[in-house]
Amino acid sequence: MNLVIASGKGGTGKTTVSVNLALSLNNVQLLDCDVEEPDCNVYLNIPLEELEKVTVPVPEIIKERCTYCGKCSHFCQFNALAIFPHDALVFTDLCHGCGGCTLLCPEQAISEKKKVIGTLEGGRGEGIDFIRGVLDIGEAMASPVIRALKKKIDPSRLSILDAPPGTACFVIE
């Protein structure tokens, strides 16, 4: 069973409730989904180790193949690609990693490379299996880190998720 502690704004005590609930129960999993500022472990002090890097696919233009037709940039609703008569630019910070530009390119001039945007860290202590997601400084997309974190949920146990503050898209994730 998953129990999500959430609210419409920050500073309401979500982390306090999540941590104390986890401490009062036995053999639980606690996931800190506030990847922009994970702070459950401030209260737990569990030794952590890196579990995995979180990556997203971003386009890379193969300039030898590109005819600068602009189909990729017209497709991208996030304006992550800019095509000029003899040049193509990729704005990786705007890319949402959908892969549409790669599939759409008639010249197969777009490949994908992995961009690291965060990490998952975990440890065990006081009867709690603790995992947190950490979004790298300067990265804008929290949702892929939260998705990777949620894949670590053990469906056979009680999992307490300390949600991020507010009502933005990544909270709904």
User: What distances in angstroms separate CA 130 from CA 37, 165, 169, one per listed residue?
Assistant: 15, 19, 24
Q: Round to whole Å and give the CA distance between 54 and 3.
A: 24
Burial class (CB in 10 A: 0-12, 13-18, 19+), 63: exposed
Instruction: Please report the pLDDT score of residue 117 as a whole number.
Output: 96
The verdict on 22 and 100 lying in the same domain is no
The verdict on 108 and 61 lying in the same domain is yes
The verdict on 48 and 128 lying in the same domain is yes
- CATH number of domain containing 157: 3.40.50.300
Task: Tell me the pTM.
Answer: 0.87
Q: Round to whole Å and give the CA distance between 151 and 141.
A: 17
pLDDT digits (tens, 9 = 90+) for 13-41: 899 999 999 999 988 999 999 999 999 99
Instruction: Please report the pLDDT score of residue 171 as a whole number.
Output: 54
Last residue of a domain, one of 93, 113, 133: 113
- CATH number of domain containing 87: 3.30.70.20
pLDDT digits (tens, 9 = 90+) for 119-172: 999 999 989 999 999 999 999 889 999 999 999 999 999 999 999 887 665 555
Expressed as residue numbers, the domain containing 63 is 57-113
Last residue of a domain, one of 96, 113, 130: 113
∠ CA 63-108-89, nearest 5°, is 40
- Count up the domains in the chain and report the number: 2
